[in-house]
Structure 1
Amino acid sequence: MPTRDHRLDRAKGILIFAVVLGHLLARTGPWDDEVLSAPMYLIYSFHMPAFVFLAGITAKSTRLPERVLTFLVLLFTVLPLMWGWLWLFELDADYSFLTPFWYSWFLLSMAYWIITVPFIERFPRTLLVTSVVVGLFGGILPLLDTELSASRSMIFWPFFVVGKLYGKQILNWAGGLRIWQKLFFTAAALGTIGYFYLDEVDHHWLYGSLNFAHFGVSIPEGVGLRLIVDIGALLMTLMLLMWVGEKDNLIAKIGRHSLAIYVIHGFVVRGFQPLLDDSLDVYSAPIVLSICLLLALLTTYVLSWSPFERSLRWYSSTVTNLLLKPFAPLRTKAGGHSEKTSS
């Protein structure tokens, strides 16, 4: 039996904490503050590309309908529940079903990317080149933006494809580097993010949710900036994989439960929003950062409890099975035909 690679769990654990912290900090209006913008540039430079890369490593083409539907079920559950949650706290429900709200874009994009897995396995080189071209040049298209998670799905797709094709090799390579090599790549990664911070690069580039027209740049400028941001994300992802470690501990447990944390944490963050909105008017930036760090640690730890993960998986699998039940005879016939053909 293959043993579980705890490096993946630990990396996911660190990344999901970064997601929670980034979303809490985002409620404080951090981008115009010198202190709070530093961790925001650090987090948003790589946390979602790295997550997508890790998702590619574990992606499989088996049971494809179940895998795709699981994310769609979660998406269409989160959207109305979040609307009701925002109404309860008298917050602006600034989303529509065509524009997945806030963090829920990832659930729809995962469904897209999983659909491409069989094609990645069948045509690896073609899909690798295609994903890179789409990721770099997709911002040219004026009609594809936040609607249906189109922009992010295109921009982050190369990380998924690379993770699927070469993720395990990259993980082993990064973990096997010597200390001086790790320090070199770490300096390169932090230097790149330091450039983003010091030059005050528009942080919306890190979101990956807008096309070139929104930034008012030419196509060569847009492609060049997209490439620089992607290189920064790649270097930061490598830095994470270099230092992540292999021990099965609390961080690894948090990583194993990262999907539940991701889905539920948005409700917690929005619940804290009334307290965080004007926090910089009351407290200094270091204190606000400390409060967000404490809330992120507490939120991540509590949501990593097994009942949350089990409940979410039970719900998503139950609804998915119900949706697929009418098609069971067709799938059984297809399976039987395949067996006869292979024999």
Structure 2
Amino acid sequence: MPTRNHRLDRAKGVLIFTVVLGHLLARASPWESDLLRAPMYLIYSFHMPAFIFLAGITAKSGRLAQRILVFLVLLATVLPLMWVWMRLFGLSPDYTFLTPFWYSWFLLSMAWWTLTVPVIERFPRAVLAISLVTGLVGAAVPTVDSELSVVRTLVFWPFFVVGKLYGARMLRWAGGLDVGRRISLAVAAVTVTGILYLDEFDNDWFYGKERFAHVDVGVPEGVGIRLVLDVAALLMTLALLAWVGDRNSPLATIGRHSLSVYVLHGFVVRALQPVLDGSIAAYGSLTVLGICVVLSVVSTWLLAWEPLDRALRRYASTVADLLLSPFRSLRPAAGVGADSTRTRGGAPT
């Protein structure tokens, strides 16, 4: 019987914590503070590419329609609830039907990426090459933008494909490194991110949602910047996998229940937004950082409660099954409508 990969779960646990922390810090306008910019650069330089890489490792082509619909059901549930939720706190939910709001883009992109899994399995090398190209030049396509999360889907697709094809081997490789190599990998990863921080690199690039034209760069420069960011994200991802450990723990449990944390943390963050807005001026950057870390730990722990995660998954799966049920009823029963003669090797016998 295969055993659970606790290294993967623990990595997810770390990453979902960084998602919550990054979104809480973002409510306090951290990019204007030298102190808060450091953790923001560290988080946003790799946390979503790493999450997408790990999603690729566990992606399967079985029950494809149901898997895709689960993400779409969650998306269709989150958007109206978030609209109402933000209104309750006096916030303006500025989004349209075609543009996923804030963190919900990941749910739509996961549906897109999951749709490509059978093609990745059938044509691995070709899809890998295509994904690497689209990851670099996807933001140059003039006809797409934030609508339907197209740019982000293209930009981050290589991490999903690499995770699907090579993720398990890379996970084992990172886990087998000795201490010296793990230290070297971590130093290299932090150095690249540190250079971006010292250079005051435009943080809009980390989101991967804008076309090159929107950030006022040409295609050659945009491709070069995208390549540097991809390398930085890959180094940080490998460093995380090398250091995260491979034993069952509360962190691994959080990783296994990361879906509920991801889907629900946005409601916590938006509820705290009126408090965090302007908090740097009132309390100072260091205090705000400490508060956000504590809030992130508590929120992540509570939202990773197993019954909550199980209920969310059951809800999405049940709705997806209900939506698919009419199509399943159209399938012919075994042997009904089939040719009276059996075929062998494609030829009737």
Q: What TM-score results when the alignment is normalised by the length of structure 2?
A: 0.95
C-alpha distance in 2 between matches for 1:105 and 1:131? 19
C-alpha distance in 1 between matches for 2:304 and 2:63? 26
Pairs within 5 Å for 1:32-181: 32-181=32-181
Pairs within 5 Å for 1:324-339: 324-331=324-331, 333=333
Provide, for residues 181-221 of structure 1, a one-character-per-residue CA deviation record: whole Å limited to 9, x for no partner: 11111111000000110001100111101010011111110
Q: SS of 1:246's equivalent?
A: coil
Deviation at 1:329, TM superposition (A): 2.4
Q: SS of 1:298's equivalent?
A: helix
Partner residue of 1:315? 315
- 5+ residue gaps in structure 1? none
Highest Rg: 1 or 2? 2
C-alpha distance in 1 between matches for 2:140 and 2:252? 39
Pairs within 5 Å for 1:191-340: 191-331=191-331, 333=333
**CA distance 1:341–1:75, change in 2 (3 Å):** farther
C-alpha distance in 2 between matches for 1:128 and 1:8? 22
C-alpha distance in 2 between matches for 1:8 and 1:76? 28
Partner residue of 2:29? 29
Partner residue of 1:13? 13
C-alpha distance in 2 between matches for 1:144 and 1:202? 21
Deviation at 1:304, TM superposition (A): 0.8
Amino acid at match of 2:306: S
Deviation at 1:281, TM superposition (A): 1.6
Deviation at 1:330, TM superposition (A): 3.3
- 5+ residue gaps in structure 2? none
Q: What TM-score results when the alignment is normalised by the length of structure 1?
A: 0.97
Aligned length: 342
C-alpha distance in 2 between matches for 1:146 and 1:92? 19
Deviation at 1:306, TM superposition (A): 1.2
C-alpha distance in 2 between matches for 1:245 and 1:155? 29
**CA distance 1:204–1:333, change in 2 (3 Å):** farther
Deviation at 1:307, TM superposition (A): 1.8
Q: Equivalent pairs: percent with the same residue?
A: 61
Deviation at 1:180, TM superposition (A): 1.2
Amino acid at match of 2:107: L
Deviation at 1:48, TM superposition (A): 0.3
